């Protein structure tokens, strides 16, 4: 019998089972592996008597984005963020909007080799205030992400996680100790949706949200992609908003974004603008202070307003900042009430551009 030659770096969060298999404990799938097998995410694999991360040090590419694109509207607005991902995913969403990366099985497509130090240096040299672990879920490459995050912090660069939050408690605590901000995808508010369309579960995601909000200093925002006929009913938006209000409080920004037909969901229409506006209205009626629409042109729905006096604090047109009425400490310029978030002086001037970046692996 022929086995794949599996290369990679030692992985953490696994244990040996009595039946000879090895169980990965990173996410609630708990993949149980014989020698030579890969987990559902494809990038964590068993090599002999250990688990390895096969994508350590390899990226699907680097890009400098506006931080608003993650989306994060209350974290160093207007600044550039160096974004990268690897390959694979631990969910199987039929509507995935990054499926070419998340479903990648050809690891050869990961051509950009980059050490943690070379990424941190590239971020600093290109003027980025933060590095984002995004495009695919960093949960599955956490050993690499954490090493990059440590190199970044040593240079004063912040770390941003873009994740679906589907992970177990121990790796969650380890991972978020190294992050400064997170946007968590709350894909829907029913177990049925997670089971049917993602082969996952809702509760671990809610646990992650509560953990980040209450057990860490990580700045948290949430994104919900509204898919017509699947998670856009007012009753579901009511339940989702009420849960956020009760469990996380009014200051966690919530982004309702528009779906476009993709991957295995080509038969569902794009989300109407009115659906996003309706969802935003519902969430704000529940008391959430910062609710946004996304993936549509909507200056009113993408701007930030003072929860005390209603003044427009940050105007946005797509990812451009078109208005600013915050003090350097993040207080309303009209009534001095605080705006929740991480604000340090005036906004950045990166704008809406997206710039691919070559990270030189030789400068490790």
73 to 102: interface string for ligand SF4, x by CB under 6 A? -----------------x------------
Tokens linked to 91: 């969910």
- Give min distance, CB of 237 to ligand SF4, in A: 29
Using CB under 6 A as the binding rule, whether residue 340 contacts ligand SF4 is answered as: no
What is the DSSP code (8-state) at residue 140? G
Which of residues 11 and 359 has its CB atom nearest to ligand SF4 in the complex? 11
Q: What whole-number distance in Å separates Cα of residue 25 and Cα of residue 31?
A: 8
- Reading the block at residue 33, the tokens are 């592996």
Contact of 308 with 332, CB cutoff 8 Å: yes
Cβ at position 42, least distance to ligand SF4 in Å: 8
Q: Name which position in 30, 192, 195, 261 contacts ligand SF4 (CB under 6 A).
A: 30
Query: Could you give the residue ranges of the DSSP H alpha helices within 64-114?
Result: 99-102
Distance in angstroms (rounded) separating the CA atoms of residues 350 and 79 = 6
Q: How far is the CB of 247 from ligand SF4 (least distance, A)?
A: 25
* Contact by Cβ (8 Å): 342, 182: no
205 touching ligand SF4, by CB under 6 A: no
- Binding residue for ligand SF4, selected from 24, 87, 160, 279, defined by CB under 6 A: 24
Bond prior to 71 in cis (omega within 30° of 0): yes
184 touches 163 (CB < 8 A): yes
Q: Please tell me whether residue 27 binds ligand SF4 under the rule CB under 6 A.
A: yes
Min dist. Cβ of residue 39 to ligand SF4 (A):
2
How many residues of this chain interact with ligand SF4, rule: CB under 6 A? 12
Can you tell me the distance from the alpha carbon of 126 to that of 179, in angstroms, rounded to the nearest whole number?
20
**Site map (CB under 6 A) of ligand SF4, residues 32-61, x = contact:** -------xxx--x-----------------
For ligand SF4, the binding residues (CB under 6 A) are 24, 26-27, 29-31, 39-41, 44, 90, 140
């Amino acid at each position: 019998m022929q086995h794949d030659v599996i290369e990679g770096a030692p992985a953490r969060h696994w244990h040996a089972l009595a039946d000879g298999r090895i169980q990965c404990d990173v996410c609630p799938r708990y993949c149980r592996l014989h020698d030579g097998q890969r987990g559902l995410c494809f990038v964590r694999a068993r090599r002999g008597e250990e688990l390895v991360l096969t994508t350590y040090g390899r990226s699907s590419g680097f890009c400098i984005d506006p931080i608003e694109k993650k989306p994060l509207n209350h974290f160093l607005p207007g600044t550039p963020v160096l974004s990268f991902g690897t390959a694979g995913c631990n969910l199987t969403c039929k509507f995935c909007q990054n499926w070419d990366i998340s479903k990648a099985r050809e690891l050869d497509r990961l051509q950009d080799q980059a050490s943690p130090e070379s990424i941190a240096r590239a971020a600093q040299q290109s003027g980025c205030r933060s590095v984002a672990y995004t495009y695919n879920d960093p949960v599955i490459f956490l050993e690499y992400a954490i090493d990059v995050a440590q190199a970044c912090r040593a240079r004063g660069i912040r770390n941003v996680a873009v994740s679906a939050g589907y992970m177990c408690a121990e790796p969650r605590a380890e991972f978020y100790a190294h992050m400064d901000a997170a946007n968590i995808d709350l894909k829907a508010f029913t177990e049925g949706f997670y089971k049917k369309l993602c082969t996952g579960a809702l509760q671990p995601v809610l646990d992650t949200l509560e953990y980040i909000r209450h057990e860490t200093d990580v700045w948290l925002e949430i994104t919900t992609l509204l898919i017509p006929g699947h998670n856009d009913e007012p009753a579901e938006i009511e339940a989702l908003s009420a849960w956020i209000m009760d469990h996380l409080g009014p200051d966690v920004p919530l982004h309702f974004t528009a779906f476009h037909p993709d991957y295995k969901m080509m038969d569902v229409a794009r989300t109407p603008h009115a659906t996003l506006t309706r969802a935003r209205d519902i969430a704000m009626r529940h008391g959430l202070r910062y609710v946004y629409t996304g993936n549509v042109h909507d200056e009113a729905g993408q701007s930030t307003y003072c929860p005390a006096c209603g003044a427009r604090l940050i105007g946005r047109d797509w990812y451009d900042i078109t208005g600013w009425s915050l003090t350097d400490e993040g207080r309303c310029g009209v009534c001095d009430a605080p705006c929740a978030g991480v604000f340090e002086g005036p906004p950045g001037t990166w704008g809406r551009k997206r710039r691919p970046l070559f990270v030189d692996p030789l400068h490790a």
